[in-house]
Structure formats: C-alpha cells, structure tokens
Amino acid sequence: MAITPGMTADGRKVVPTSKALTKEERKVIFASSLGTVFEWYDFYLYGSLAAIIAKQFFIGDPTTTFIFALLAFAAGFIVRPFGALVFGRLGDMIGRKYTFLVTILIMGASTFLVGLLPSYAQIGIAAPIILVTLRILQGLALGGEYGGAATYVAEHAPEGKRGFFTSWIQTTATMGLFLSLLVILGVRTAMGEDEFQAWGWRIPFLVSVLLLGVSVWIRMSMNESPAFAKMKAEGKTSKAPLSEAFLKPKNAKIVLLALIGLTMGQAVVWYTGQFYALFFLTQTLKVDGATANILIAISLLLATPFFIFFGILSDKIGRKMIILGGCLIAAATYFPIFGALTHYANPQLEAALKNSPVVVIADTSTCNFQFDMTGTRVFTDSCDIATRMLTGASVSYTKQEAPPGTVARIKIGDKEFSSFEGTKTPDGLKFDAASKAKETAMKAEIGEAIKAAGYPAKADPEQINKPMVVLLLFILVLYVTMVYGPIAAMLVEMFPTRIRYTSMSLPYHIGNGWFGGLLPTTAFALVAFKGDIYYGLWYPIVVALITFVIGMLFVKETKDNDIYATD
C-alpha cells in the first residue's frame, strides 16, 4: 500500500512534534466547521424571522399562521435522524469527504432557496409546500453534516489531540448566532422596518450563498480522511453499514448507550443553557427581547473558549468524566440558578410570587398535561384554559379540588374569576369566535387582577442586575461547554471505522433533535400542569441524571481507543 503523506507505514496519522496547528490541520477544521455554522445561522434566521415568514407563506389568522411556520421549522428537526441514516450509510460506503460535500450543498442550497421562494400570494398553496420541503431537505442534510464533520476532523487529528480538534466544531453555534444577528440587524437598519418586512427579510437567506461558496471551494480541495483511506485501500469498507451498525447486538448496544448514556443528557443541558434560558428570560421573567439577546450573547462570548478548554482537557484526563460531570453539576444546580435569575432579572416578580399566592379551584381530573409536540392541539377544558393563561403570565399557583363537573375558577387575593369550556373550530386548530372572545375578556380581567397583586407586565430595566444575570447565564453555558466540547471526539472513538459515520450520527441526532428539541414544549407543559414557573426544569434534570447514572455504569472511557480499528 502506498504511504499517504502524514501517515506511518501502517496507516496511522503521524503525531507532529509542534503543538501549533499546521496549515493543513487548520484547513481541515475550518472546512468541517462551516457546515455547523450553516446549521446555527439558519436556525437563528428562521427562528428570528418566523413571524414574518408566517405572513409570507401561510394563510389564516396570525396565531394559526405562526403555528404552521413553527411546524415547518420543527420538520427540520424531526427528520434529522433519518438524514443520519441516509448520509451515514453513504459516508461509510463511499467516504467522508464526498458525503459531507453533498450535505453542505443540499443544506446551503435549501437555505438560499428560501430567500428566493415566491409567497403564498404569488403561487398559492405551492409556497408552503415548497417551504416545508426545503426545511425537510435542510434537516436531512444536517443529519449527515455533523457526523461527517466530526468523523472527518477526528480521523485527521493526531493521537492525543482529537478532543482539541473536534472541540472547534462545537464553537460554531456562537459564530452562527452572531453572524445571523449581525446580518439581520444590518439589513433591518439599512432598509427600514417596512421594507424589511415586505422583502428585505429574504436577504439574510440569500447571503448564505457566500458561506456555501467558500465551504464548497475548500471542501473540494480536501483529501479523504486517513482512517477511511487506509480502510478502503485494504478493502475493508462496509457493504451494509446500517445492518452492521444497528442489527449486530454488539454495536447496537453501543449505539443505545451512546444515546442514553451520553447524548440524551448532553442535549438537554445544551438546550437548557442556551435556548431555555433565553425562553425563561423573555417569556417567564418578561425581560425585553433585545436585552435578553444581548445578555445571552455576552455569556456565549465569554464561555465559548471553554469548548476548546474542555476539549483539550478531555485529551488529558478523558471525555467521560467531563461530560457526565457536566450533566451532574447542571442537574444539581438548575433550581438555584434559575431562582437567582428571577431574583436578579425581575425582583418584582419574585416578590409577587412570594407574597401574592394564586389558587386554581377545579375538578383536577380535567386538568390535562398540555404536551403538544406539533403545536396544533387545542386544550378546551376550563382548567386547562385557566392554568395556561396563568402560566403565560408567569404566575405560579396551587390547585384546590372542586366537585366533579365544576367550571374552573381562579382566585387572586380576594377576587375570583370563572374560566370557561372552550369550543374548537371545525378544523380543530383553534378556538371558535365565541370562545376566542371569552378568552380575550378573561385575559383582560386576569391581567388587571395580577397587576394589582404586584405581578409586573414586564421586567423593569432599571431593576435588572445585568452583571449578575450575565454571570448566571455564563455558568449555564459553561455547563454546555463541559458536555458538548468533548462529545464529538467521544462518539467518534466509540465505533469502528467501517461503520463510524452511521453509528455516531444516529444517537447524536436523536439526542439533540428529539430529546433536546422537545425541551421547550415539555417544560411549558410541566409548568402549566404544576403551577410552578420552575417546574419545567425537572425535564432536563431527570434526563441529565439518567444519562449520568447509565453513563457511569455502562459507558467506557474512549480517549485512548484506536480509531483506525475497522472492527
């Protein structure tokens, strides 16, 4: 076999004596990371512009159109594991380089085409159909992109530096966030709000073609990873990666352990530290969106170098204890940290929660757990309407049992308000006109009562202790860096070369796309069900603890594994 430059005679990567990254190594990391930048750039673009996109591509009242816009967004997450199967199989059969060149083309082209897509007013029902199709394509491509990037970088990394190399991929969420915020802010400022709403929102999607062009140009010049090249030269590539990865008991067990003992907990810590923290600030603590985004952005900037730190540390002491330690510390401290966020971001709300208790008097058998993964289910029981309304106003409450069949009532101080039994429209997507009118009137009454009880409609900007809020958010993101910084290297090291791409991609995308992606919906349902603004934290805490226990008992350390092994 011909010896590839940078490899020993047995096909192993030569460990450079210099600690500095070589030009080729920097090129590998940069080219691989651009796809993850795409992921987060698109994520923040679509999330930030969902309300505008809803008006452009869906019909109906604002609530219904926004729901469908979010469903189109969710479609990209739902299909991620299927993309992992499709492109993971190709990556293990034909190579890492060409597969994740295809994924970046699909992902980049889909993002660009969203910016060109005619509106519903121009082409009718074809507009939302095409939009959802593009979102599905993005999700499928993303399912293959991350696994390909992590595998490619790790298989290029010298022995003892895989954690360091792959940790650079993990920093790109911050890059995608700032890039999207910068582009949106720049275009909005230059054009004005009216023009931006009309058509300027397309520009951030269109400029993604620049990222695509640079990424494709660089990836075209890349070599295949040394591990795959060695395996291919020896004729040991897998002919059936899916069956080898998931039907052979030995490997299937490792895939399951990777999901339950690693990525499941990593995902909920990741989503809690960044996205649920933002949701909690804006929706629960009523901090204005601009301020909350700035505070989150500062914490991300401060914490991002720790992705690299924990990647390097994992090369020295191992990946397992850092990842599982992050899960355990996060689970142990979420309640006090989020309680402190309330104290420093909205002390008026903290005082109201303590001094002005609210009671929901209802037949508790009618109080449902309002979990709605699709965003299309309407809960019409009077108890559900009452608890959802209070949860949306960041009001904690207790429940008092009432006789069966009783219409729920809300007691605020010495005042009581009756809820109502809602009625849905024929399509089942929303309340009918009469129920909507009752809901609006009830919201107004409840709003006045909770305001009189001391519950603020918004956080007072003068009372926000910004340095302390940033410190608390920094700690939350620090947990993210612990669990996320070493995860790519560990997943790569758990599986043999011949089925690595397939095997590592599926547990990663089920963990992050499903367990992490379900966090906001599940947390809201828990809060509404219990009546405690912190109760939603039990979801990430329980999942993180399950991962800690399973990981400690059954997952083996991987940092010294031979990643050139084919079996």
Contact 163, 486 (CB under 8 A): yes
Residues 57-103 have pLDDT tens digits of 876 555 555 556 656 666 777 788 888 888 877 877 777 777 878 88
pLDDT of residue 73: 64
111 part of a folded domain? yes
> Whole-angstrom Cα distance, residue 275 to residue 281?
10
Tens of pLDDT along the chain (567 residues)?
A: 343 444 544 444 444 434 566 777 777 787 777 777 876 787 678 767 776 887 788 765 555 555 566 566 667 777 888 888 888 778 777 777 778 788 888 888 888 998 999 988 888 888 888 888 888 888 888 877 777 778 888 888 888 889 998 888 888 877 787 788 788 888 888 888 888 888 899 999 998 888 888 878 877 777 776 767 777 777 777 677 777 778 888 888 999 999 999 999 999 999 899 888 988 898 889 898 778 878 988 898 899 999 999 999 999 999 999 999 999 999 999 999 999 999 999 999 999 888 888 899 988 888 887 766 555 677 889 988 888 888 877 788 888 898 988 899 999 888 888 999 989 888 676 788 898 898 889 988 888 888 888 888 888 999 999 999 999 999 999 999 999 999 989 998 998 877 887 888 888 888 887 888 778 778 877 887 888 889 999 999 999 999 999 999 999 999 988 777 556
pLDDT of residue 149: 79
Instruction: Give the domain-ending residue among 237, 258, 289.
Output: 237
Does residue 247 share a domain with residue 226? no
Does residue 539 share a domain with residue 398? no
Residue-wise burial string across 206-235, b where 16 or more C-beta atoms lie within 10 A, e elsewhere:
ebbeebbeebeebbeebebbbbbbbbbeee
17 part of a folded domain? no
pLDDT of residue 148: 76
126 part of a folded domain? yes
pLDDT of residue 4: 43
Angle value at C-alpha 8, between 5 and 10, nearest 5 degrees: 125
Share of the chain above pLDDT 90, in %: 26
pLDDT of residue 10: 46
> Whole-angstrom Cα distance, residue 185 to residue 11?
49
Q: What is the CATH number of the domain that holds 555?
A: 1.20.1250.20
Instruction: Give the domain-ending residue among 452, 484, 512.
Output: 452
Does residue 78 share a domain with residue 116? yes
Does residue 447 share a domain with residue 398? yes
> Whole-angstrom Cα distance, residue 420 to residue 554?
51
pLDDT of residue 113: 92
Does residue 220 share a domain with residue 113? yes
Contact 293, 181 (CB under 8 A): yes
Instruction: Say if strands 398-401 and 358-362 run parallel, antiparallel, or are unpaired.
Output: parallel
> Whole-angstrom Cα distance, residue 317 to residue 413?
56
Does residue 494 share a domain with residue 381? no
Contact 295, 274 (CB under 8 A): no
13 part of a folded domain? no
Instruction: Give the domain-ending residue among 452, 467, 487.
Output: 452
7 part of a folded domain? no
> Whole-angstrom Cα distance, residue 344 to residue 459?
10
3-state secondary structure at position 398: strand
140 part of a folded domain? yes
The amino acid that residue 493 corresponds to is E
pLDDT of residue 372: 62
The amino acid that residue 517 corresponds to is G
Per the structure, how many domains does the chain have? 3
Residue reference for tokens 């969203």: 114
12 part of a folded domain? no
Does residue 530 share a domain with residue 485? yes
Domain that includes residue 105, residue range: 24-237
Does residue 325 share a domain with residue 406? no
pLDDT of residue 9: 43
Does residue 396 share a domain with residue 255? no
The amino acid that residue 5 corresponds to is P
Residues 251-306 have pLDDT tens digits of 889 999 999 999 999 999 998 998 889 888 988 898 987 788 789 888 988 999 99
Residue reference for tokens 């979990």: 371
Does residue 446 share a domain with residue 464? no
Does residue 258 share a domain with residue 119? no
Sign of CA dihedral 202, 204, 209, 210: positive
pTM of the complete model: 0.82
Sign of CA dihedral 160, 176, 209, 43: positive
> Whole-angstrom Cα distance, residue 148 to residue 145?
5
pLDDT of residue 1: 39
Does residue 183 share a domain with residue 42? yes
14 part of a folded domain? no
pLDDT of residue 65: 58
> Whole-angstrom Cα distance, residue 427 to residue 63?
14
